[in-house]
Structure 1
Amino acid sequence: MSHEYLLKPDPQNETLSTSVSGIDHTGKPVETRVVTEKALTLYLNSQEVVTMMTIGDHPDLLAVGYLKNQNMLKPDDVITGIDYDDDLQVVVVRTERETNYEEKLKKKVRTSGCAQGTIFGDVMDSFDAIALPDAKLKTSWLYALTKAINTTPSLYLEAGAIHGCVLCQQDKPLVYMEDVGRHNAVDKIAGWMTVNNIVADDKIFYTTGRLTSEMVIKTVMMGIPILVSRSGFTAWGVELARKAGLTLIGRARGKRFVALSGAERIDFDMNPEDVEEEPKGASRKGREAVE
């Protein structure tokens, strides 16, 4: 029985991928699905902020989440409108507060995220001030989550070359977003949480990609205390997670995982011997492209 998500990928959406002809390793003709990339330009009120490469779904959530994670939307900001023009590929977020981030936009730091992720210098000031909530992660929840997520129909399975991020609560995945850049997938979830006033204290964040500094920063900025990935770590990602008190779990496949930060939150309530190993060679289609 499949889990009922509040929001999940739609691999049958023909605007998100396309069929391309080629040949395989034997020289035979093949047809394969590849994900689309579109340029989306984001404005905050009258100011152009950034142009992002994205698959094009949920531009409103991507825009709000990006602004939230870049500390351009404040906790007490009131969003008065989100306007999206499909022909121009432009999204405009409007707020009651007058905004001017000309100086801030000059201080970009390019991250290791694919599709050229960026963060702004003053984001780290907010990062340092955040105190993550107390939380628990039962290993039974972790095993249930990885199994449910890895069997969910997605563009990741359909076409590869894409990142997936999932917002979870206990053993239930709630919202699953995908994009060509892991930072975009995170921002869509941050946008969904913002517009729906979702509390972060009891949430778990799952990503298919590496646990980089950017992933840690964005998770902390969202106020989520636990970050999980089936992939590996970077040294700076681990350092920042320890500094913030974030539980950081990687290489989560089958019964196996490694925790490099925040292990005190983990409740070992299930014997790993009772968990099925991920079948050998069961690497998901396109995983090489995203890891």
Structure 2
Amino acid sequence: MNNIYSKTKLQENSKDKVFENSYSLVDYKYLNSFNVEVSKINEHEVSIDNEEIIAEYPLSFILNDKYINTFLCTPYNLEELIVGFLKTKGYIENKKSLLKFEINESERFAKVTIQEKQKNQDEQIIFLNSLDYITCAPVKSNIKINYDTIYSIMDKNLNSSELFKNTGGVHSVSVFNFDKKIVTCEDVARHNAMDKAIGFCVLNDITLKDKIVAVSGRISLEMILKAAMTQIPIVVSKSAPTNLSIELSKKLNITLIGFVRGRRMNIYANPQRVIKK
């Protein structure tokens, strides 16, 4: 991607435009975390201490000269975040669709130009309500995974998160080839962490059709849709799923596993991919 990607370095002396009756929340810097002074109370005793706090960074996204979204994210792996978002929203098929790619850290925006994606004839229309629907193709993988591998990958995902150990403020998402970890990504938002992990795979030409994703947080419909858009067959979480995530997993042939803690787990959809040994 070096021929299409440019990154503007942070300029310490750059200043935002100032408008009357407006202000910036903080002086944003390209850091993952900040040290903040806090008052700690234990019973009736008060002490002053410094604590490491996770950063929340606003990144506005412009696609083909049109504003799309502002991400509130942890400010690292931003290329992967944008590429994963484009992939899971159906804008691109692979990195060859990326024509121009710029991230401006000081002005806090990403600007991307892409080729228009061709429609997938296998896609199904799934109505969320009378006004909104999604289109997505069912997952076709016949991959099998055993109990011990599931327990192992969840443990590896949770122990890979250095930012969580330091701040307690991020979600982690890991992609596995069975019990071999490919990548772990962290973010204040679990859907951003998943986009980062998927974006890493897209940028490195790693197929997701036979991979397993391990998630530290709750599984929502949005997370399952991201898995389906990249043909991920198995999603594993230490937490609970929502009812819509279970329903969508069943419709799109995704194996959904939750509450993986120690040597226990619940399989909510498509258990045929899970075997004892």
Give the match's secondary structure for 2:92: coil
Matches within 5 A, 1:264-283: 264-269=272-277
Please state if 1:21 is matched with 2:37: yes
Q: Deviations over 1:215-255 (max 9, x none)?
A: 11111111100000001121111111111111111110110
Aligned to 1:235, which of 243, 246, 267?
243
TM-score (norm 2): 0.79
Quick one: distance in 1 between partners of 2:37 and 2:95?
50
Identify unmatched segments of 5+ residues in structure 2: 1-29, 118-127
The aligned counterpart of 1:79 is 98
Matched, 1:37 2:56: yes
CA contact (8 A) 2:31 2:55 kept: yes
> What's the secondary structure of 1:67's corresponding residue?
helix
Distance in 2 (alpha carbons) for counterparts of 1:76 and 1:56: 21
Q: How does 1:48-67 map to 2 (within 5 A)?
A: 48-67=67-86
Q: Which residue of 1 aligns with 2:211?
A: 203
1:5 aligns with none
Counterpart residue number, 1:130: 138
Asked whether the 8 Å contact 1:77–1:97 carries over to 2, the reply is no
TM-score, structure 1 as length reference: 0.75
**1:244-291: per-residue Cα shift (whole Å, max 9, x none)?**
11111111011011111111111111xxxxxxxxxxxxxxxxxxxxxx
Q: CA deviation at 1:153?
A: 4.6
Separation in 1 of the partners of 2:182 and 2:65? 34
Contact 1:145 1:171 in 2 (8 A): yes
1 CA distance for matches of 2:95 and 2:41? Answer: 56
Give the C-alpha shift of residue 146 in structure 1: 2.1
SS for the counterpart of 1:22 is strand
Deviation at 1:22, TM superposition (A): 1.2
Do structure 1's residue 164 and structure 2's residue 206 form an aligned pair?
no
Q: Tell me, what secondary structure is at the counterpart of 1:49?
A: strand
2: CA distance between counterparts of 1:78 and 1:152?
Answer: 31
The answer to whether the Cα contact below 8 Å between 2:140 and 2:253 also exists between their aligned partners in 1 is yes
CA contact (8 A) 1:132 1:224 kept: no
Whichever structure has more strand as a proportion of its residues is 2
CA RMSD of aligned residues (A): 2.2
Q: Which whole-Å deviations, capped at 9, do the CAs of 1:49-69 have from their partners, x for residues lacking one?
A: 111111111111111111111
Give the structure 2 partner of residue 46 of structure 1: 65
- Judge conservation of contact 1:212–1:233 (CA < 8 Å) in 2: yes
Q: Gaps spanning 5+ residues in structure 1: where?
A: 1-13, 99-108, 110-119, 270-291
Contact in 1 for aligned 2:154/2:236 (Cα 8 Å): no
Contact 1:140 1:171 in 2 (8 A): no
> Which residue of structure 1 lines up, in the alignment, with residue 121 of structure 2?
none
Structure 2 Cα separation of the partners of residues 155 and 132 of structure 1 = 35
Aligned pairs, number? 234
Report % sequence identity: 26
The aligned amino acid for 1:92 is: K
- Do residues 194 (structure 1) and 202 (structure 2) align? yes
CA contact (8 A) 2:36 2:53 kept: yes
Conservation of the 8 A alpha-carbon contact between 2:157 and 2:215: no
Taking a change above 3 Å as real, the CA distance of residues 265 and 173 of structure 1, as seen in their structure-2 partners, is: same
Of the candidates 120, 137, 147, which is equivalent to residue 155 of structure 2? 147
Q: Distance in 2 between matches of 1:63 and 1:94?
A: 12
- Larger mean Cα displacement after TM superposition, 165-174 or 71-80: 71-80
SS of residue in 1 equivalent to 2:225: helix
Q: Contact 1:40–1:90 (CA<8 Å) still a contact in 2? A: yes
